[in-house]
A and B are shown apart, each in its own frame.
Chain A
Amino acid sequence: MSIGAIDETNAGVHGLVTLAHGGGGKRMHELIKDVFLPAFANAMLQPLSDSAIGNLNGCKVALTTDAFVVSPIDFPGGDIGKLAVCGTVNDLSVAGAQPLWLCASFIIEEGLRIEVLERIVKSMREAASEAGVSIVAGDTKVVPNGACDKLFIITSGLGIVKANLSAQLIKPGDVVLVNGYIGDHGIAVMSKREGLGFEADVKSDCAPLWSLAEALIENCKGLRCMKDPTRGGVATALHELAEAAGVCIEIDESAIPIRPAVLVACELLGIDVLYVANEGKLLAVVSEEDAELALNVMRSHPLGKDANIIGRVLPEPKGRLVIRTAIGTRRLVEPFSGEQLPRIC
């Protein structure tokens, strides 16, 4: 076989879609850039941010959508319904937009118990009311046994933009904050995944983040941008920010809040907590002057009591994420590639 043939087998967007294309890492970006972006090309899509932002009769709005295929549909700290609401609410929130309306589509496998569906829908209603949004439209499809797994939910959301936030505003000297313990969601879901055979007393952090985002927007003039570190975790989210802003982000390993149980689970599973999904976490980049203020705003909010300053922005090396380890050495952190475990959200 020629070298070319080997390369072809390994090339990202030829041949077949594999689970790695849905992992939130480099492979997924290849798929988006090579398949979706050329087909749909337009100015609002181009930044590939959490929400598209556009003007509607002089009003700046944000629009986003997300599909949820988590397995199992119930996990410690939440279920697929709560996740479907929070995921979309959070994509709007980190774009600086107050979430207003949600649409929800349900793809249901025949044989799902009605009482399960009722429970999931109730959980969506509770999450929506906590987030201050209404679910105003929806769709239902039922597919034959085996055509999907129990229940998939797709939510779309519309919000009004309250602040001009962008990775482009990030400057050397800025600081990076997180609102609490990282990795809880991914580990909570994995701990209930059949076949993984480990128990972890960890609950998903799944929560709607608008009220926290709003507090930051209202109080911190130096707020540059926010990002929710979902699939691909904190490492992938910060890497994307560093690339978009053309700066280096340096995080301090010992400043990152991580629960001991999450660390132990990560060791057992052989994964790095920096790549584990979160569903109630928000990374904020703020000016150096506003760092303490932002930290206080976070810590006085129920979803931010364990917040910490975890890093800072440096001029070089551009587009890179660097970690300062607990023993004082520094190394580069790559964005996530491949898949950690499929169907975490």
Chain B
Amino acid sequence: MSIGRFGIRQLLPKSIRLISGPGCPVCVTAQSDIDSFIAIGSFSDVILATFGDMVKVPGSNMSLREAGAHGIDVRVVYSPFDALKLAREMPMKRVVFMAIGFETTAPGIALAVRQAEEERLRNFFIYPALKLIPPAMEALLSFDDVRIDGFICPGHVSTVIGTKPYEPIARKYGKPCVIAGFEPLDILQAVLMLLMQLRSRRAEVENQYRRVVRPDGNEIAKRLIEEVFEPCGVEWRGLGFIEGSGLKLRKRYEHMDARAHFEVTTPPPKVHPMCKCGQILRGAAIPTDCPLFARACTPEHPIGPCMVSSEGACAAYYRYREVSAN
């Protein structure tokens, strides 16, 4: 996102290609999860609470926004605690929060779950669709068509998990990893650090974002995740099923899992056959390679996940299509 917003690609020589990876939680939420979430919303006493970016993501038949126009009660919240507040204020309603995001949003959601349990709120549920970054990076490297020389690792995620979880990736696959911040200089320095590693044939985890990221990350946040969730295999939009890359509620909190509570069944997801989001997410294609890009698929009419979120690779490409500097 910052790379497009600041036009960083213009500053780099042509031999360096920056690829937007699966860095946005909205993009990688499986269509079937959106479908099920909407299906849960069709119960008359249910309020669906979600982060704003999620509302325009197309499911198989409709987005949450369209579901809202059909009379399903969809509320945009900026925090899981707003959803908790809704549940508290409306005891006759069942409030279901769409738990999306990476290691960044997981601690807050864990805290909300714990809080709901302490208050014995029986009308608060989460739809667990959280994802973990390091297993996804490993999965990326397992495809044959991946052409990645090094990783610019996400600064915010690393704030929580620290630098260590990337070490197996650097070692096992021989790919240098640099954790970077979001300012133009951060990104440029991270690119330089990757180049220096490549030149000296090193594959290490380096931390450009030292002013924020500690080697061990945030212990409190990690403990919270650990206490409430455990890893599980989940479906990623565009990448398929990845073992150990998601989070599910631990037994003690299982009754808050909306999927178990509502027992909705939805038909298997319908995916546009020409959509190249899968390849784009693993760096095997760029958005402009896709026949749908900027034609059938635009931010107003997104088809694939990467066009949906403002941080998605296609949306960023579309919005910040760079013009020649002069």
A and B bind: yes
Chain A residues close to B by CB (< 8 Å)? 1, 3, 6-7, 9-12, 15-20, 25-27, 30, 195-198, 269-270, 317, 320, 322, 325-334, 337-338, 341
Chain A binder among B130-138, B154-162, B219-227, B295-303: B295-303
A332 with B323: CB separation less than 8 A: yes
Interface of B is mostly: loop
Residue among B4, B322, B323 with the most chain A CB within 10 A? B323
Question: Distance (Å) between the CB of A6 and the closest chain B CB?
Answer: 6
Contacts of B184 in A (CB 8 A): 327
Question: Distance (Å) between the CB of A276 and the closest chain B CB?
Answer: 14
Q: A19-B65, A197-B82, A331-B323 are in contact. Are A12 and B7 (CB under 8 A)?
A: no
B6 with A327: CB separation less than 8 A: yes
Q: A18-B65, A20-B56, A327-B11 are in contact. Are A322 and B270 (CB under 8 A)?
A: no
5 contacts between A and B (CB under 8 A): A1-B60, A15-B69, A17-B69, A195-B85, A327-B11
Chain B residues close to A by CB (< 8 Å)? 4-8, 10-11, 52-53, 56, 58, 60-62, 65-66, 68-70, 75-79, 81-82, 85, 184, 270, 272-274, 296, 298-303, 310, 318-326
Question: Distance (Å) between the CB of B197 and the closest chain A CB?
Answer: 24
Looking at the complex, which one of B11, B76, B310, B322 makes contact with A332 (CB distance below 8 Å)?
B322
B10 with A18: CB separation less than 8 A: no
Q: A1-B270, A16-B66, A18-B65 are in contact. Are A330 and B325 (CB under 8 A)?
A: yes
Q: A9-B58, A329-B10 are in contact. Are A15 and B300 (CB under 8 A)?
A: no
Contacts of A16 in B (CB 8 A): 66, 69-70
A334 with B325: CB separation less than 8 A: no
Besides A270-B52, A341-B52, 10 more A-B contacts (Cβ < 8 Å) are A6-B270, A17-B69, A20-B300, A327-B6, A329-B6, A329-B10, A330-B322, A331-B322, A333-B319, A337-B300
Question: Distance (Å) between the CB of B316 and the closest chain A CB?
Answer: 10
Closest B residue, CB atoms, query A340: B52
Contacts of A27 in B (CB 8 A): 300
Closest A residue, CB atoms, query B320: A331
Question: Distance (Å) between the CB of A328 and the closest chain B CB?
Answer: 7
Question: Distance (Å) between the CB of A312 and the closest chain B CB?
Answer: 13
Among all A-B residue pairs, the 10 with the closest Cβ atoms: A329-B7, A16-B69, A10-B301, A331-B320, A1-B270, A329-B10, A331-B7, A337-B300, A18-B69, A327-B184
B321 with A332: CB separation less than 8 A: yes
Contacts of A333 in B (CB 8 A): 319
Closest A residue, CB atoms, query B184: A327
A317 with B69: CB separation less than 8 A: no
Contacts of A9 in B (CB 8 A): 58, 61-62, 66
Question: Distance (Å) between the CB of A299 and the closest chain B CB?
Answer: 30
Closest B residue, CB atoms, query A196: B78
A12 with B10: CB separation less than 8 A: no
Q: A327-B6, A327-B11, A329-B325 are in contact. Are A195 and B82 (CB under 8 A)?
A: yes
Contacts of B274 in A (CB 8 A): 3
